[in-house]
Amino acid sequence: MGDVVTPTGAGSTTGDTPGPVERAFLIADVRGYTSFTRERGDAEAARLATRLAEVARDAVEARSGRVIELRGDEVLAVFASLDQAVRAAVELQAVCEEQVAADPTLPLLVGVGIDVGEAVPVEGGFRGAALNTAARLCSQAAAGQVLLTAQVADRAGVIAGVRFASAGTAELKGFDAPVRLMGVVAEPPPSLVIQPAEAPPLPIELELDTPLVGRESELAWLRGTWRQARRGYGRVVFVSGPAKAGKSLMVAELAGFAHSAGATVSYAGAGGTAVALAKASLRDALAARRPALVVLDDFGVTGGRAIYMKRYFQSYQQPALGMVA
Protein backbone atom coordinates (compact mmCIF):
# COMPACT_ATOMS: atom_id res chain seq x y z
CA MET A 1 0.00 0.00 0.00
CA GLY A 2 2.88 2.35 0.60
CA ASP A 3 2.99 5.26 3.02
CA VAL A 4 0.35 6.33 5.49
CA VAL A 5 0.11 10.08 5.04
CA THR A 6 -1.77 12.98 6.57
CA PRO A 7 -1.59 16.63 5.48
CA THR A 8 0.73 18.63 7.71
CA GLY A 9 -0.54 21.91 6.37
CA ALA A 10 1.52 24.76 5.02
CA GLY A 11 1.74 26.84 8.18
CA SER A 12 5.47 26.27 8.52
CA THR A 13 6.01 27.68 5.01
CA THR A 14 4.17 30.95 5.40
CA GLY A 15 5.98 34.23 5.65
CA ASP A 16 4.64 35.20 9.08
CA THR A 17 7.70 34.36 11.21
CA PRO A 18 9.81 37.35 12.34
CA GLY A 19 13.44 37.31 11.27
CA PRO A 20 15.26 35.24 8.63
CA VAL A 21 14.18 31.61 8.17
CA GLU A 22 15.59 28.82 6.06
CA ARG A 23 13.30 27.62 3.29
CA ALA A 24 13.48 25.76 0.00
CA PHE A 25 12.08 27.62 -3.01
CA LEU A 26 10.73 26.17 -6.24
CA ILE A 27 10.10 28.32 -9.31
CA ALA A 28 8.48 26.91 -12.45
CA ASP A 29 7.44 28.51 -15.70
CA VAL A 30 6.32 27.51 -19.17
CA ARG A 31 8.87 27.33 -21.96
CA GLY A 32 7.75 29.15 -25.10
CA TYR A 33 4.96 31.05 -23.33
CA THR A 34 5.63 34.32 -25.17
CA SER A 35 5.49 32.71 -28.62
CA PHE A 36 2.44 30.67 -27.57
CA THR A 37 0.69 33.91 -26.57
CA ARG A 38 1.62 35.57 -29.85
CA GLU A 39 0.37 32.64 -31.92
CA ARG A 40 -2.70 31.61 -29.93
CA GLY A 41 -3.84 34.80 -28.24
CA ASP A 42 -4.30 36.02 -24.68
CA ALA A 43 -7.30 33.83 -23.87
CA GLU A 44 -5.44 30.60 -24.65
CA ALA A 45 -2.35 31.89 -22.85
CA ALA A 46 -4.47 32.55 -19.77
CA ARG A 47 -5.90 29.04 -20.01
CA LEU A 48 -2.38 27.60 -20.15
CA ALA A 49 -1.21 29.63 -17.15
CA THR A 50 -4.33 28.66 -15.19
CA ARG A 51 -3.75 24.97 -15.86
CA LEU A 52 -0.15 25.28 -14.64
CA ALA A 53 -1.34 27.01 -11.46
CA GLU A 54 -3.88 24.23 -10.81
CA VAL A 55 -1.50 21.30 -11.21
CA ALA A 56 1.32 23.12 -9.40
CA ARG A 57 -0.88 23.71 -6.35
CA ASP A 58 -1.76 20.01 -6.22
CA ALA A 59 1.87 18.86 -6.46
CA VAL A 60 3.09 21.46 -3.96
CA GLU A 61 0.33 20.98 -1.36
CA ALA A 62 0.77 17.20 -1.49
CA ARG A 63 4.39 17.74 -0.41
CA SER A 64 3.58 20.13 2.45
CA GLY A 65 4.53 23.22 0.50
CA ARG A 66 2.61 26.30 -0.51
CA VAL A 67 2.28 28.29 -3.73
CA ILE A 68 2.83 31.87 -2.60
CA GLU A 69 2.96 33.73 -5.90
CA LEU A 70 1.64 33.46 -9.45
CA ARG A 71 2.92 35.80 -12.15
CA GLY A 72 1.70 35.04 -15.64
CA ASP A 73 3.18 31.65 -16.50
CA GLU A 74 5.43 31.55 -13.40
CA VAL A 75 4.74 29.74 -10.13
CA LEU A 76 6.69 30.34 -6.90
CA ALA A 77 6.36 27.79 -4.09
CA VAL A 78 8.01 27.52 -0.67
CA PHE A 79 8.80 24.47 1.46
CA ALA A 80 10.17 23.89 4.92
CA SER A 81 11.97 20.80 3.55
CA LEU A 82 14.38 20.59 0.60
CA ASP A 83 13.52 16.91 0.22
CA GLN A 84 9.84 17.77 -0.25
CA ALA A 85 10.63 20.54 -2.73
CA VAL A 86 12.58 18.10 -4.92
CA ARG A 87 9.79 15.53 -4.76
CA ALA A 88 7.18 18.16 -5.62
CA ALA A 89 9.21 19.29 -8.64
CA VAL A 90 9.44 15.75 -9.99
CA GLU A 91 5.73 15.20 -9.47
CA LEU A 92 4.91 18.52 -11.13
CA GLN A 93 6.88 17.51 -14.21
CA ALA A 94 5.11 14.15 -14.27
CA VAL A 95 1.65 15.70 -14.18
CA CYS A 96 2.63 18.27 -16.82
CA GLU A 97 3.68 15.43 -19.09
CA GLU A 98 0.34 13.71 -18.46
CA GLN A 99 -1.56 16.92 -19.17
CA VAL A 100 0.22 17.41 -22.50
CA ALA A 101 -0.59 13.83 -23.51
CA ALA A 102 -4.25 14.36 -22.61
CA ASP A 103 -4.56 17.81 -24.22
CA PRO A 104 -1.78 18.75 -26.69
CA THR A 105 -3.43 22.14 -27.23
CA LEU A 106 -2.08 23.19 -23.81
CA PRO A 107 1.69 22.57 -24.00
CA LEU A 108 2.72 22.54 -20.33
CA LEU A 109 6.41 22.44 -21.21
CA VAL A 110 7.79 23.56 -17.88
CA GLY A 111 11.27 24.29 -16.52
CA VAL A 112 11.89 24.22 -12.77
CA GLY A 113 14.62 25.66 -10.54
CA ILE A 114 15.15 24.91 -6.83
CA ASP A 115 17.36 26.52 -4.21
CA VAL A 116 17.48 26.60 -0.43
CA GLY A 117 18.70 29.22 2.03
CA GLU A 118 17.79 31.93 4.47
CA ALA A 119 15.07 34.37 3.46
CA VAL A 120 13.27 37.21 5.17
CA PRO A 121 9.47 37.00 5.47
CA VAL A 122 7.77 40.03 3.91
CA GLU A 123 3.96 40.43 3.87
CA GLY A 124 3.15 36.77 3.32
CA GLY A 125 6.10 36.21 0.98
CA PHE A 126 9.89 36.09 1.19
CA ARG A 127 12.95 37.98 0.05
CA GLY A 128 16.41 36.45 -0.21
CA ALA A 129 19.23 35.18 -2.39
CA ALA A 130 17.75 31.67 -2.58
CA LEU A 131 14.71 32.97 -4.46
CA ASN A 132 16.95 34.77 -6.94
CA THR A 133 19.04 31.64 -7.52
CA ALA A 134 15.93 29.49 -7.97
CA ALA A 135 14.68 31.96 -10.60
CA ARG A 136 17.99 31.87 -12.47
CA LEU A 137 18.07 28.09 -12.38
CA CYS A 138 14.51 28.02 -13.68
CA SER A 139 15.53 30.22 -16.62
CA GLN A 140 18.32 27.73 -17.42
CA ALA A 141 16.05 24.66 -17.26
CA ALA A 142 14.77 23.10 -20.45
CA ALA A 143 11.21 21.86 -20.80
CA GLY A 144 10.71 18.91 -18.45
CA GLN A 145 13.91 19.64 -16.54
CA VAL A 146 14.44 20.33 -12.82
CA LEU A 147 17.71 22.10 -11.97
CA LEU A 148 19.57 22.85 -8.75
CA THR A 149 23.18 23.54 -7.94
CA ALA A 150 25.61 20.72 -7.18
CA GLN A 151 26.00 22.14 -3.67
CA VAL A 152 22.26 21.89 -3.01
CA ALA A 153 22.12 18.39 -4.52
CA ASP A 154 24.89 17.29 -2.16
CA ARG A 155 22.94 18.74 0.72
CA ALA A 156 19.76 16.92 -0.33
CA GLY A 157 21.59 13.59 -0.26
CA VAL A 158 19.67 10.43 -1.10
CA ILE A 159 15.98 10.88 -1.88
CA ALA A 160 13.94 7.78 -2.60
CA GLY A 161 12.52 7.69 -6.11
CA VAL A 162 14.87 10.28 -7.63
CA ARG A 163 18.52 10.68 -8.55
CA PHE A 164 20.74 13.60 -9.47
CA ALA A 165 22.58 13.80 -12.80
CA SER A 166 25.14 16.31 -14.02
CA ALA A 167 23.63 19.10 -16.14
CA GLY A 168 26.84 20.94 -16.99
CA THR A 169 27.80 24.42 -15.80
CA ALA A 170 26.32 27.86 -16.21
CA GLU A 171 27.21 31.43 -15.38
CA LEU A 172 24.61 32.74 -12.95
CA LYS A 173 24.27 36.32 -11.84
CA GLY A 174 25.57 36.74 -8.30
CA PHE A 175 28.17 33.95 -8.59
CA ASP A 176 31.86 34.69 -9.14
CA ALA A 177 32.51 31.55 -11.19
CA PRO A 178 30.51 29.17 -13.38
CA VAL A 179 28.12 27.06 -11.29
CA ARG A 180 27.95 23.28 -11.59
CA LEU A 181 24.34 22.25 -12.18
CA MET A 182 22.51 19.04 -11.39
CA GLY A 183 19.29 17.77 -12.89
CA VAL A 184 16.71 15.79 -10.94
CA VAL A 185 15.70 12.55 -12.64
CA ALA A 186 12.71 10.48 -11.54
CA GLU A 187 13.22 6.74 -11.16
CA PRO A 188 10.68 4.51 -12.95
CA PRO A 189 7.50 3.82 -10.95
CA PRO A 190 7.14 0.45 -9.20
CA SER A 191 5.00 -1.13 -11.90
CA LEU A 192 2.87 -0.50 -14.95
CA VAL A 193 -0.86 -0.65 -14.35
CA ILE A 194 -2.98 -1.91 -17.25
CA GLN A 195 -6.13 0.17 -17.73
CA PRO A 196 -9.26 -1.13 -19.43
CA ALA A 197 -11.13 1.28 -21.67
CA GLU A 198 -13.78 2.27 -19.14
CA ALA A 199 -13.95 2.39 -15.35
CA PRO A 200 -16.93 0.99 -13.42
CA PRO A 201 -19.54 3.59 -12.41
CA LEU A 202 -18.90 5.84 -9.43
CA PRO A 203 -20.62 4.46 -6.29
CA ILE A 204 -23.86 6.33 -5.62
CA GLU A 205 -22.70 7.14 -2.07
CA LEU A 206 -19.90 9.27 -3.57
CA GLU A 207 -21.99 11.27 -6.00
CA LEU A 208 -21.95 14.94 -5.01
CA ASP A 209 -25.28 16.63 -4.35
CA THR A 210 -23.84 19.76 -2.68
CA PRO A 211 -20.82 21.77 -3.86
CA LEU A 212 -17.88 21.98 -1.48
CA VAL A 213 -16.73 25.53 -0.72
CA GLY A 214 -13.66 26.85 1.06
CA ARG A 215 -11.50 23.71 1.29
CA GLU A 216 -9.28 24.20 -1.73
CA SER A 217 -6.00 23.66 0.13
CA GLU A 218 -7.12 20.30 1.51
CA LEU A 219 -8.52 19.26 -1.87
CA ALA A 220 -5.27 20.20 -3.61
CA TRP A 221 -3.42 18.02 -1.08
CA LEU A 222 -5.76 15.11 -1.75
CA ARG A 223 -5.56 15.47 -5.53
CA GLY A 224 -1.77 15.64 -5.45
CA THR A 225 -1.57 12.64 -3.12
CA TRP A 226 -3.93 10.69 -5.38
CA ARG A 227 -1.67 11.42 -8.36
CA GLN A 228 1.25 9.95 -6.41
CA ALA A 229 -0.76 6.76 -5.83
CA ARG A 230 -1.90 6.59 -9.46
CA ARG A 231 1.70 6.70 -10.67
CA GLY A 232 2.52 3.59 -8.66
CA TYR A 233 3.12 4.82 -5.11
CA GLY A 234 0.18 3.59 -3.02
CA ARG A 235 -1.16 5.75 -0.22
CA VAL A 236 -3.39 5.43 2.84
CA VAL A 237 -4.99 8.75 3.80
CA PHE A 238 -7.11 9.53 6.88
CA VAL A 239 -9.60 12.38 6.63
CA SER A 240 -10.93 13.37 10.04
CA GLY A 241 -12.78 16.22 11.72
CA PRO A 242 -15.89 17.13 13.71
CA ALA A 243 -19.39 16.33 12.53
CA LYS A 244 -20.65 18.42 9.59
CA ALA A 245 -17.13 19.67 8.83
CA GLY A 246 -17.41 18.57 5.20
CA LYS A 247 -15.37 15.34 5.37
CA SER A 248 -17.79 13.35 3.22
CA LEU A 249 -18.06 16.11 0.62
CA MET A 250 -14.29 16.42 0.41
CA VAL A 251 -13.84 12.69 -0.09
CA ALA A 252 -16.62 12.67 -2.69
CA GLU A 253 -14.78 15.45 -4.57
CA LEU A 254 -11.63 13.33 -4.57
CA ALA A 255 -13.56 10.26 -5.70
CA GLY A 256 -15.07 12.17 -8.60
CA PHE A 257 -11.65 13.51 -9.58
CA ALA A 258 -10.08 10.02 -9.51
CA HIS A 259 -13.00 8.48 -11.39
CA SER A 260 -12.91 11.15 -14.10
CA ALA A 261 -9.28 10.15 -14.73
CA GLY A 262 -10.23 6.49 -15.22
CA ALA A 263 -9.79 5.03 -11.73
CA THR A 264 -11.86 2.28 -10.19
CA VAL A 265 -13.57 3.74 -7.10
CA SER A 266 -14.94 1.46 -4.37
CA TYR A 267 -16.97 2.38 -1.28
CA ALA A 268 -17.59 0.66 2.05
CA GLY A 269 -19.70 2.21 4.80
CA ALA A 270 -19.92 1.59 8.53
CA GLY A 271 -21.98 -1.02 10.36
CA GLY A 272 -21.66 -4.59 11.52
CA THR A 273 -20.28 -5.77 8.20
CA ALA A 274 -17.83 -2.87 7.81
CA VAL A 275 -14.66 -4.96 7.96
CA ALA A 276 -15.97 -7.58 5.54
CA LEU A 277 -17.18 -4.93 3.09
CA ALA A 278 -13.87 -3.09 3.31
CA LYS A 279 -11.93 -6.27 2.60
CA ALA A 280 -14.17 -7.04 -0.37
CA SER A 281 -13.70 -3.51 -1.74
CA LEU A 282 -9.95 -3.84 -1.46
CA ARG A 283 -9.92 -7.26 -3.17
CA ASP A 284 -12.02 -5.88 -6.03
CA ALA A 285 -9.70 -2.90 -6.41
CA LEU A 286 -6.64 -5.14 -6.54
CA ALA A 287 -8.26 -7.37 -9.13
CA ALA A 288 -9.11 -4.40 -11.37
CA ARG A 289 -5.45 -3.98 -12.46
CA ARG A 290 -5.90 -0.25 -12.85
CA PRO A 291 -5.54 2.79 -10.57
CA ALA A 292 -8.01 2.29 -7.75
CA LEU A 293 -9.40 4.34 -4.87
CA VAL A 294 -11.03 2.60 -1.91
CA VAL A 295 -13.16 4.83 0.35
CA LEU A 296 -14.06 3.67 3.87
CA ASP A 297 -16.80 5.86 5.32
CA ASP A 298 -17.13 6.44 9.09
CA PHE A 299 -13.94 4.49 9.64
CA GLY A 300 -13.73 5.57 13.29
CA VAL A 301 -17.01 3.94 14.30
CA THR A 302 -15.54 0.49 13.80
CA GLY A 303 -13.91 0.98 17.20
CA GLY A 304 -11.25 -1.58 18.10
CA ARG A 305 -11.37 -3.02 14.59
CA ALA A 306 -9.83 0.17 13.16
CA ILE A 307 -6.25 -0.81 14.04
CA TYR A 308 -6.77 -4.27 12.58
CA MET A 309 -8.19 -2.79 9.37
CA LYS A 310 -5.32 -0.32 9.07
CA ARG A 311 -2.76 -3.12 9.32
CA TYR A 312 -4.75 -5.21 6.87
CA PHE A 313 -4.74 -2.50 4.19
CA GLN A 314 -1.09 -1.64 4.74
CA SER A 315 -0.19 -5.29 4.16
CA TYR A 316 -1.00 -4.82 0.48
CA GLN A 317 1.94 -3.39 -1.45
CA GLN A 318 -0.10 -2.85 -4.58
CA PRO A 319 1.05 0.13 -6.67
CA ALA A 320 -1.52 2.66 -7.88
CA LEU A 321 -3.91 1.94 -5.02
CA GLY A 322 -5.15 4.67 -2.70
CA MET A 323 -7.36 4.38 0.34
CA VAL A 324 -9.26 7.17 2.09
CA ALA A 325 -10.66 6.39 5.53
CATH number of the structural domain spanning residue 138: 3.30.70.1230
Mean predicted confidence (pLDDT) in 231-242: 77
- Give the strand pairing for 235-237 and 179-186: unpaired
Do 25 and 161 reside in the same domain of the chain?
yes
Do 147 and 42 reside in the same domain of the chain?
yes
Ranking 31-35, 45-49, 196-200, 207-211 by mean pLDDT, the lowest is 196-200
Predicted confidence at residue 14, as pLDDT, reads 56
- For residue 108, tell me if it sits in a domain: yes
Do 99 and 222 reside in the same domain of the chain?
no
Mean predicted confidence (pLDDT) in 293-297: 82
User: How many CB atoms are closer than 10 A to CB 50?
Assistant: 12
Do 171 and 27 reside in the same domain of the chain?
yes
- For residue 44, tell me if it sits in a domain: yes
- For residue 5, tell me if it sits in a domain: no
Predicted confidence at residue 17, as pLDDT, reads 60
Do 173 and 215 reside in the same domain of the chain?
no
Last residue within a domain, chosen from 157, 186, 215? 186
Do 174 and 222 reside in the same domain of the chain?
no
Find the CATH number of the domain harbouring 253.
3.40.50.300
Domain span including residue 98: 20-186
Do 180 and 210 reside in the same domain of the chain?
no
Quote the CA–CA distance of 82 and 195 in Å, as a whole number: 34
Mean predicted confidence (pLDDT) in 200-227: 82
User: How many CB atoms are closer than 10 A to CB 259?
Assistant: 19
Do 122 and 49 reside in the same domain of the chain?
yes
Do 145 and 51 reside in the same domain of the chain?
yes
Q: Label residue 205 exposed, middle or buried (CB < 10 Å: 0-12, 13-18, 19+).
A: middle
Number of structural domains the chain divides into:
2
Do 144 and 176 reside in the same domain of the chain?
yes
- For residue 289, tell me if it sits in a domain: yes
- For residue 195, tell me if it sits in a domain: no
Do 132 and 233 reside in the same domain of the chain?
no
Do 100 and 232 reside in the same domain of the chain?
no
Q: What DSSP string runs through 83-115? A: HHHHHHHHHHHHHHHHHHHH-TTS---EEEEEE
Q: Are 173 and 129 in contact (CB under 8 A)?
A: no
Mean pLDDT of the chain: 82
Mean predicted confidence (pLDDT) in 47-51: 95
Which residue has better confidence, 142 or 285? 142
57-76 confidence digits (pLDDT tens): 999 999 999 999 999 899 99
pLDDT higher than 70, residue 305: no
